[in-house]
Structure 1
Amino acid sequence: MTTTPPAPRPYQSYVYAYPHKTAYRPLGERRPSLRTLWAGEPKDALSLYLHIPFCEVRCGFCNLFTRIGAPGELTTRYLDALERQAEAVRDALGDEEPVRFAAAAFGGGTPTYLTADELDRLCDIAEKRMGADLAAVPLSVETSPSTATADRLAVLAARGATRLSIGVQSFVAEEAKAAVRPQRGSDVAAALGRIRDSAVPVLNIDLIYGIGGQTARTWRYSLDAALDWRPEELYLYPLYVRPLTGLDRRVRESDREWDARRLALYRQGRDHLLDRGYEQVSMRMFRRTDAPGAGEARGPDDYACQTDGMIGLGCGARSYTSRLHYSFDYAVGASEVRGIIDDYTRTEDFGHAEVGFAMTGDESRRRHLLQSLLQAGGLATEEYRSRFGTAPEDDFGPELARFAALGWLDRDAPAGLLRLGPEGLAHSDALGPELFSPAVRAGMAAYEPK
């Protein structure tokens, strides 16, 4: 008699990149030059990411690499360093073969913390130093209610932004306060109105479920308040409480109760958006079916991360080559973040990778499977075979068998397509960590939060 294996907890880790930066380690004397790293790498479909690590406030749930405020001339010094880094990276890419960027994004932090003139300079760095044609590729920019001002948005629209993503999290004042998200409803509405007036074609609104005091009724209110703006995209994020964040140790529900509540709210939100004319792209992402890019498997800021290289500029950004993922040091605590930013602004030599994780063949296979499977479109097995010479079942048979036994795989998927069913997508934050390698697990476990 066969028995169904016990399901892991549904909310373990948001796998937005693999391996996670907590598995990275200082490269020390082995730090390779960027020119050596990028030699022989495909450079015809790169993604460019510029990281701005400043916010006006720090939300209680945030464990991103960011600091509150930028005293003195810190933003100027940061952009100066970003320009030095861009020059070093572009030199390392060389001119032996064409270098082309297929997508660009400004993230953070809050990129629109910068002034309009500083945003113009940021675009100049991307275009004049790196060679990206921002008017010809998808350009996604993150913003916030208090920084989405008309002058900033005008710069972004003029420079080719195709997508603006704003974190609202909740349209209910009490819930925003519970999430340590200081904002006024009038400011949120004004910012959304200015974004629509900017004529940037894609608006994304981020919402969070699982906030203390949130109910099915208040969650429906936030969903409908967001839908009133007819956003082309909506991201629904489960609340996580991470070490060193403002909400750390504030959650009083048991793990089981909180998991059940978040899962019920996720299903409510998913079903509501599907009923209102949205398609599900991943566990978190929903796109209006008549929006630009509808029917595609990936979002505009989610380039072909399984196969394409990434150039990250800024002290919180990561870069990907086929052999090494690299970045700078990572922290969440305020003093540690300030120290890393200060070190970055003083750096003159950006020609080497400092912190990273070596990508073996096994790790590349895991990354490809994981980041394909977590998209609703799934993985074409022939694509996997042509890249690696094996089938997913050959490399990850036990894991896929477990997912099937848990009811996470879509049994009705067409031949040659491996994809998740509705329950698999609902449990993406459990499925992803199941595919982490022993080396990545060990690195993450050994990391000391700072």
Structure 2
Amino acid sequence: MIDTALPRPYQNYVYAYPHKTAYRPLPARPALSQVWAGESRSALSLYLHIPFCEVRCGFCNLFTRVGAPDGLTGRYLDALTRQATAVRDGLGDAEPLRFANAAFGGGTPTFLEADELTRLCDIAEQIMGADLRAIPLSVEASPATSTADRLAVLADRGATRLSLGVQSFIDEEARAAVRPQRRTDVEAALGRIRDAGIPVLNIDLIYGIDGQTAASWQVSLDAALAWRPEEIYLYPLYVRPLTGLARHADPAVAEQDWDRDRLARYAQGRDHLLAAGYEQVSMRMFRRRDAPPQGPDDYACQTDGMIGLGCGARSYTSTLHYSFDYAVDMREVRGIIDTYVATTDFGSALHGRVIDGDEAARRHLLQSLLQADGLSVADYRHRFGTDPWEDFGDQLHTLAERGWLADSGADLLQLSAEGLAYSDAIGPDFFSPAVRAAMAAYELR
């Protein structure tokens, strides 16, 4: 039963703060040498974005396009090479670059052919200077593109983690999510991944798909567990299912029913994975207790010192988050990719948002509080010179009143089990008024 006095549980997936919809064109277009001046180079993160997929899933709002006609992937890698060269020049040589981790995301990086993946690794290593075999390297993939030759390249170049977007092992549910795939093909891909010897396998599953039941969700959970993946992510579906809404004259009732169903599937999945020997890292992430460590988790994608390459990648310094233009509409995305491919001068930051002390504190709190381990109050004081209860007392008292804070002592702010379940409702409460206004004013396209 949904308590209507509480906020709706599924509002915003806070995978990065501030969200790109709060970014704006940077009037000064600062040179990268200026942007990175004074920033530490001792523990950088490297992210390479490939904005291509073989199909656009019905739930997807990522920056990606379907297919790549007329040699577009090759031209994209040409542009990626030019951008990497400009970024490396902008970073300078006053301090050695040391990378702590790397990731290839998208889109679907394994959309690239094996020789193109080799080229992608060369950009990371030969231009940026990241030793991929010496640091954690995570790569996103789909079942259809997890071919033996592609996986062999990734394994040889040091990939330590491969994340496979399965979503459902039920063929009918996959079709309902506009993710046309057969379970037999998914299982075959998982076999190839295990054969490749990549140390960490992550399987993504989605709950809340139209027609999904407790029984069918259990089938997907057990099918994933049969492969003993080191990690499993459980994602709530965020696309409104038209057939679900059509059952009710009152859309609000349909939304409440969908919220109830997703909360029930979340609890079912969480409890089943915990009983199967997994630990909960965040609302979404579960790691097998005996799995090898992988370094940064869920919210590491917004850590300071992030160098993003590619037209959908973000970069983060301590005072500026920046990227290229953003869109979701497929025509707009294609236009941005075409502009990126034609770009010759990558020496400046074009779109972004300045991060002041208040925004940095909010980001740190979100990065920590939305993890199962919680926020160290002493660490917060050390970083910002204040107490989180002083800075965010209203929000934290509300969480406590709702029972969403665990009784973890004065030195740790930690969500309770119910609080973790409501992570997507908790995150937006800590957005600044300025970020809220910018997101609200963003014209979706």
Range of TM-score over shorter length:
over 0.9
Of the three residues 331, 337, 340, the one matched with 2:333 is: 337
User: Where do residues 105-254 of structure 1 align in structure 2 (5 Å cutoff)?
Assistant: 105-241=103-239, 251-252=245-246, 254=254
Of the three residues 422, 426, 431, the one matched with 1:427 is: 422
Query: Which one-letter code corresponds to 1:290 in the other structure?
Result: D
Contact 1:5 1:402 in 2 (8 A): no
- C-alpha separation between the residues in 2 aligned to 1:337 and 1:67? 7
- C-alpha separation between the residues in 2 aligned to 1:229 and 1:252? 37
Match in the other structure for 1:303: 300
- C-alpha separation between the residues in 2 aligned to 1:432 and 1:252? 30
Q: TM-score, with normalisation over the residues of structure 2?
A: 0.96
Instruction: Name the SS of the counterpart of 1:145 in structure 2.
Output: coil
Quick check: 1:324 aligned with 2:320? yes
- C-alpha separation between the residues in 2 aligned to 1:302 and 1:327? 18
- C-alpha separation between the residues in 2 aligned to 1:142 and 1:414? 38
- C-alpha separation between the residues in 2 aligned to 1:17 and 1:302? 7
Q: Over residues 309-342 of structure 1, what are the superposed CA-to-partner deviations in whole Å (9 max), with x where a residue is unaligned? A: 1000000000001111000111111110100000
- C-alpha separation between the residues in 1 aligned to 2:135 and 2:65? 29
Match in the other structure for 1:286: 286
- C-alpha separation between the residues in 1 aligned to 2:182 and 2:300? 34
Match in the other structure for 1:369: 365
Measure how far apart 1:217 and its partner are.
Answer: 0.5
Instruction: Name the SS of the counterpart of 1:237 in structure 2.
Output: strand
- C-alpha separation between the residues in 1 aligned to 2:166 and 2:409? 38
Match in the other structure for 1:17: 16
Measure how far apart 1:249 and its partner are.
Answer: 8.6
Unpaired segments of 5 or more residues in structure 2?
A: 248-253
Measure how far apart 1:371 and its partner are.
Answer: 1.1
Contact 1:47 1:104 in 2 (8 A): yes
Of the three residues 402, 407, 410, the one matched with 1:406 is: 402
Measure how far apart 1:126 and its partner are.
Answer: 0.3
Contact 1:212 1:251 in 2 (8 A): no
Measure how far apart 1:439 and its partner are.
Answer: 0.8
Match in the other structure for 2:250: none
Measure how far apart 1:414 and its partner are.
Answer: 4.0
Measure how far apart 1:379 and its partner are.
Answer: 1.0
Decide whether aligned partners of structure 1 residues 251 and 205 sit closer, same or farther in structure 2, where only a CA change above 3 A counts.
farther
The number of equivalent residue pairs is 437
Instruction: Name the SS of the counterpart of 2:392 in structure 1.
Output: helix
> Stretches of 4+ moved more than 2 A in 1?
247-253, 301-306
Match in the other structure for 2:251: none
Quick check: 1:255 aligned with 2:255? yes
Q: Over residues 325-362 of structure 1, what are the superposed CA-to-partner deviations in whole Å (9 max), with x where a residue is unaligned? A: 00011111111010000000010110111110111111
Query: Which one-letter code corresponds to 2:300 in the other structure?
Result: Y
- C-alpha separation between the residues in 1 aligned to 2:30 and 2:309? 17
- C-alpha separation between the residues in 2 aligned to 1:192 and 1:251? 35
Query: Which one-letter code corresponds to 2:225 in the other structure?
Result: L
Q: Over residues 93-128 of structure 1, what are the superposed CA-to-partner deviations in whole Å (9 max), with x where a residue is unaligned? A: 111112111010000000000000000000000001
Decide whether aligned partners of structure 1 residues 5 and 280 sit closer, same or farther in structure 2, where only a CA change above 3 A counts.
same
Decide whether aligned partners of structure 1 residues 204 and 379 sit closer, same or farther in structure 2, where only a CA change above 3 A counts.
same
- C-alpha separation between the residues in 2 aligned to 1:396 and 1:324? 23
Instruction: Name the SS of the counterpart of 1:303 in structure 2.
Output: helix
Match in the other structure for 1:265: 265
Match in the other structure for 2:94: 96
Instruction: Name the SS of the counterpart of 1:399 in structure 2.
Output: helix
- C-alpha separation between the residues in 1 aligned to 2:54 and 2:242? 20
Measure how far apart 1:252 and its partner are.
Answer: 3.8
- C-alpha separation between the residues in 2 aligned to 1:389 and 1:185? 53
Measure how far apart 1:185 and its partner are.
Answer: 1.3
Contact 1:232 1:288 in 2 (8 A): yes
Of the three residues 57, 62, 65, the one matched with 2:60 is: 62
| Percent identity between the two aligned chains | 71
Q: In terms of mean alpha carbon deviation, does 89-98 or 283-292 score higher? A: 89-98
Q: Over residues 146-172 of structure 1, what are the superposed CA-to-partner deviations in whole Å (9 max), with x where a residue is unaligned? A: 000000000000000000000010001
Measure how far apart 1:176 and its partner are.
Answer: 0.6
Match in the other structure for 1:378: 374
- C-alpha separation between the residues in 1 aligned to 2:390 and 2:4? 21
